[in-house]
A = this chain, B = another copy of it.
Amino acid sequence: MKKLLTDPLLLVGSPAAVPDIRYAAGFNAPDAVVCLCIGNEIHLVVSALEYGRARGETCGVILHTPDSLHLESAKRRDPVAWTVALLKRMHVRRVRVPWDFPAGITLKLNAGGIRIEVIEGPAFPERAVKTRTEIECIRESQRAAVKAMKAACARLRAASVSSKGLLREGRRVLTSEELQLFIDRVLLESGCSADSTIAACGKQSADPHERGSGPLRAGAPVVIDIFPQHRGHGYFGDLTRTVVKGKPSPKVAAMYRAVKAAQEAALGSIRAGVRACEVHAAVHETFVRHGFQTGLIGGWPQGFIHGTGHGVGLAIHEAPSVSTAENILKAGNVITVEPGLYYRDTGGVRIEDTVVVTRTGWEYLCPFRKAIAP
């Protein structure tokens, strides 16, 4: 039997909103649950309503309900009461909680004599290193993203260009909104959801989080960022391509070459044991070499204004970060590699793939061609 080296870990919340709970218990639900990890044991308190489903969907988890904890009826709907009762049942007087644990619950537990330690870092550092099963789940979502990207590119290829330079399908102008909806429909057919698919054209794309609206135009960059979450297992994928229908301006073409080269430089530096900031630095150096500046320009942050990448799993942004920090990449990390350049007078160019870090390098979760023509 393993010796208990640390205090039990307590998590309270909706598994749908707190990926750590979904990770620990392998159970998803919209409403609050209580999860207590004691050594290798996972205890989960669910409402009577959720019990049947939890019994069917979890494996190796010890289930409790307000009834089994003998709670009086006034407390049956209160996860704080569930928590108190579970800790009492398990003779636990000290717990660790994650940094985003609800402050109101810590107060009540403190008042009940429970000692609480708030963890500084992630509750499950091991979440950053994916198992084979997890990698297959992310691959499934990444495949859906590639399928949707292919379909979106095909639609852009097939579109005609009006005399005013707008993309058209027959008599209708093709818009960002229509392309987003189309992508989300393809994802839905593949068992995935996506709430904030980006299809931003021209100057709109200079803001990396702008979803895009209005007519798509020829000659301007269209940044398409697709990050589906699988509706069953909950793992994300993440993929971005930037395409130009017709002839790109010399500046956009140069930005595209720089971003593609920067991604190659980043990928070239990725393997287990490398510091993430070295990967990020490789991107920065490539942009400098290609003559692209980063910094406040006219009062706005422009150039390469975000990190090189982030971990992907049950959350779309999770550890490890690939940015300025010194963290070391490990085999099994699943990360995005997404250099980008953003200038307010021109727009943005971003190329993003999701890869798994290996001992000797990395592998695409699902490859897709990189070309400025859709």
Contacts and interface: CB of A to CB of B under 8 A. Distances in A.
A53 B41 CA distance: 45
A305 B16 CA distance: 22
Interface in A68-106: 77, 97-106
A301 B123 CA distance: 34
A210 B189 CA distance: 21
A193 interface: yes
A100 B196 CA distance: 25
Given A30-B196, A209-B53, A100 B102 contact: yes
Contacts of A181: 188-189
A209 B15 CA distance: 14
A67 B208 CA distance: 18
B209 A29 contact: yes
Nearest to A29: B209
A345 interface: no
A176 to B, nearest CB: 13
Interface stretch (A1-9, A44-52, A136-144): A44-52
A352 B121 CA distance: 43
Contacts of A196: 30
A52 B206 CA distance: 10
A99 B100 contact: no
A48 B48 CA distance: 45
B305 A48 contact: yes
Given A13-B100, A30-B316, A53-B207, 8 more contacts: A17-B17, A29-B209, A49-B208, A98-B104, A99-B104, A100-B104, A103-B103, A181-B188
18 contacts: A13-B100, A16-B195, A17-B17, A29-B209, A30-B317, A48-B305, A52-B300, A67-B301, A98-B104, A100-B103, A100-B104, A101-B103, A102-B102, A104-B118, A104-B119, A181-B189, A185-B188, A188-B188
Interface of A: 13, 16-17, 29-31, 48-50, 52-53, 67, 77, 97-107, 116, 118-120, 181, 184-185, 188-189, 193, 195-196, 207-210, 231, 296, 300-301, 305-306, 316-317, 323
